[in-house]
Chain A
């Protein structure tokens, strides 16, 4: 029959004495087993041999746990840093594209502004809002109209040359007929020979130079190899932005 715990008498003094006696016995055994010249007794060596792996295991577990914890923290930090870097790369890529676009716009506008300063007459800079060059009737819609001073028959140019003329204006918009339009006709003359003609759009992205006298010495000049000599000019001494592409097609009778 088991004795209740409360019934067992507690004798800490007796236990203390027993432990002390045990320690005395162990110490006496240790002193007897010490060899000459040895710093450790056999008991100490045995204890160290038995318990030596335990600190190693504890140290390995501790260092492994520490490494795993720090590795986990580093991984979390790396994931967060990677996410931030990806966002930054996307933002910088967008900024780079925007800056490249702005740089191109700046160059183009700077060239256009410098070009507009070449003219002594009043000019207005406008932006195309619609471009219709697919059909036979070539036209461009500008974002400026009569409120900006635009009027019908105003000439429209850019830094590359003549574009067309204004054919319709509203308060805030205007329509420009391109020189390649099939209904467009511009009086021109050939620079070298001073022969006059009419430049008509062919509706296909090019133009034809008509009404050049058959006796005009244009052969040998209206070739791609000599564009400066064969540049076509607007009548009244004003130049157009056209350069002949090919030679005489057919002599008029």
Chain B
């Protein structure tokens, strides 16, 4: 089956980003609540 997903990031307004020096994405990426 295929599920269509919508990104949580608005890519058109990305200005500053954080580059993680790893290939493995940590769980904080979702757990963080700004």
* Interface residues, chain A, with chain B CB atoms under 8 Å away: 108-109, 111-112, 114-116, 118-128, 131, 133, 138, 140, 142, 144, 149-151, 153-163, 165-166, 174, 176, 178-180, 197, 199, 205-210, 212-214, 216, 218, 222, 231-234, 236-252
C-alpha gap A208/B16 in the complex (Å): 26
C-alpha gap A208/B24 in the complex (Å): 21
Interface digits, B5-33 against A, CB 8 Å rule (1 contact, 0 not)? 11111111011111111111111111110
Query: What are the residues of chain A within 8 A of B17 when measuring CB–CB?
Result: 125-128, 140, 142, 156-158, 163, 176
By size class, the interface of chain B is 20 to 34
C-alpha gap A28/B14 in the complex (Å): 108
C-alpha gap A218/B4 in the complex (Å): 13
Q: Are B23 and A252 in contact (CB-based, < 8 A)?
A: no
Query: What are the residues of chain A within 8 A of B21 when measuring CB–CB?
Result: 121-124, 149-151, 154
C-alpha gap A134/B34 in the complex (Å): 28
With A124-B18, A166-B19, A248-B1 already in contact, the answer to whether A238 and B24 are too (CB < 8 A) is yes
B12 CB, nearest partner CB in chain A, Å = 6
Q: Are B2 and A250 in contact (CB-based, < 8 A)?
A: yes
A245 CB, nearest partner CB in chain B, Å = 4
C-alpha gap A241/B3 in the complex (Å): 15
Most A C-beta atoms less than 10 A away, residue of B4, B10, B16, B19:
B19
C-alpha gap A41/B30 in the complex (Å): 110
Q: Are A154 and B32 in contact (CB-based, < 8 A)?
A: no
Query: What are the residues of chain B within 8 A of A206 when measuring CB–CB?
Result: 4-7
